[in-house]
């Protein structure tokens, strides 16, 4: 089942909302992270920059064949052989990744789904001890140029509450100007 309100605008519009490299640097993603899972990877806006930083591979999961195709083409064009794309519905099927198999899980612009704690628990399951979940989402502000309706848009405080009840701790919050916030939490073990 596709996440509610998770359709994408044209890529030219979408990429104007972020500076992925700056964001990843702020969130301390570096080559100490071997493997990363990107849930709902879309155009690969984060997948591709992540692949260039980490020492292992990034697994980009999306339900839309078009998004997977675009991400694959980008990886090929940049000669990145550490991008693994997975066409899959992570809501009904889970990620398909093994327990304790990644160092970072990226949940970018996706946590407005129904049942966010189920997804956070899946993230927790696949993370290695000391792994991190990274939540990026639209500011809780109706003036942002896009983003889910306010009725279903989570506040950072709500994301932290869900993550803590799903087995994470030590939240660090970041202001990812102009339109987003970021939260990094650690897997409790
Ligand atoms: C709002 S976009 C965010 C894309 C990317 N994370 C970013 O921030 O640039 C959400 C993405 O999640 C994908 N998606 C929605 N429901 C999904 C599901 N059940 N399983 C896998 N991917 C899903 C959509 O196809 C879309 O590409």
* Rounded-to-integer distance, Cα 182 and Cα 97, Å: 24
In short, whether 109's Cβ falls inside 6 Å of ligand 1 is yes
pLDDT digits (tens, 9 = 90+) for 44-65: 999 999 999 999 999 999 999 9
Q: Where are the beta strands (DSSP E) in 93-188?
A: 102-108, 127-138, 168-176, 180-187
Distance of CA 6 from the midpoint of ligand 1 (Å) = 6
Helix (H) or strand (E) holding 156: helix 156-165
pLDDT at 32: 84
In short, whether 62's Cβ falls inside 6 Å of ligand 1 is yes
Domain 41-187 has CATH 3.40.50.150: yes
pLDDT band at 129, cuts 50/70/90? very high
4-8, 87-91, 123-127: the lowest-pLDDT one: 4-8
User: Does position 189 have pLDDT exceeding 80, yes or no?
Assistant: no
Rounded to 10°, the helix 116-126/156-165 angle is 60
* Rounded-to-integer distance, Cα 7 and Cα 109, Å: 11
In eight-state DSSP terms, residue 43 is T
Q: Are strands 36-39 and 102-108 parallel, antiparallel or unpaired?
A: parallel
pLDDT band at 77, cuts 50/70/90? very high
Distance of CA 94 from the midpoint of ligand 1 (Å) = 14
Distance of CA 87 from the midpoint of ligand 1 (Å) = 11
Segments making up each domain of the chain, as ranges: 41-187
Q: List CB contacts of 125: < 8 A, sequence separation 6 or more.
A: 99
For 73, the token pair is 């083409």
Question: Omega into 156 within 30° of 0, i.e. cis?
Answer: no
- Residue to mutate (ligand 1; options 9, 21, 62; most atoms within 8 A of CB): 62
Distance of CA 109 from the midpoint of ligand 1 (Å) = 8
Edge to edge, the sheet with strand 102-108 lists 83-87, 58-62, 36-39, 102-108, 127-138, 180-187, 168-176
Mean pLDDT of 1-20: 93
pLDDT at 30: 86
pLDDT band at 98, cuts 50/70/90? very high
Question: In ligand 1, which atom is closest to the CA atom of 92?
Answer: 19
Mean pLDDT of 119-145: 97
């Amino acid at each position: 089942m596709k996440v509610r309100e998770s359709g994408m605008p044209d890529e030219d519009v979408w990429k104007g909302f972020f500076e992925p490299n700056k964001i990843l640097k702020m969130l301390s993603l570096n080559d100490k992270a071997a493997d990363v899972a990107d849930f709902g990877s879309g155009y690969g806006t984060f997948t591709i920059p992540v692949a260039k930083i980490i020492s292992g591979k990034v697994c980009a999961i999306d339900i839309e064949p078009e998004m997977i195709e675009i991400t694959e083409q980008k990886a090929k064009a940049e000669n990145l052989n550490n991008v693994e794309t997975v066409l899959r519905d992570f809501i009904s099927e889970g990620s398909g990744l093994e327990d304790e198999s990644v160092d970072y899980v990226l949940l970018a612009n996706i946590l407005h789904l129904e049942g966010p704690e189920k997804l956070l628990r899946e993230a927790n399951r696949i993370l290695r001890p000391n792994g991190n979940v990274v939540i990026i989402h639209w500011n809780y502000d109706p003036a942002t140029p896009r983003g889910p309706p306010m009725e279903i848009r989570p506040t950072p405080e709500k994301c932290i509450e869900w993550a803590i009840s799903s087995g994470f701790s030590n939240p660090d919050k970041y202001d990812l100007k102009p339109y987003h916030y970021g939260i990094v939490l650690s897997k409790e073990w």
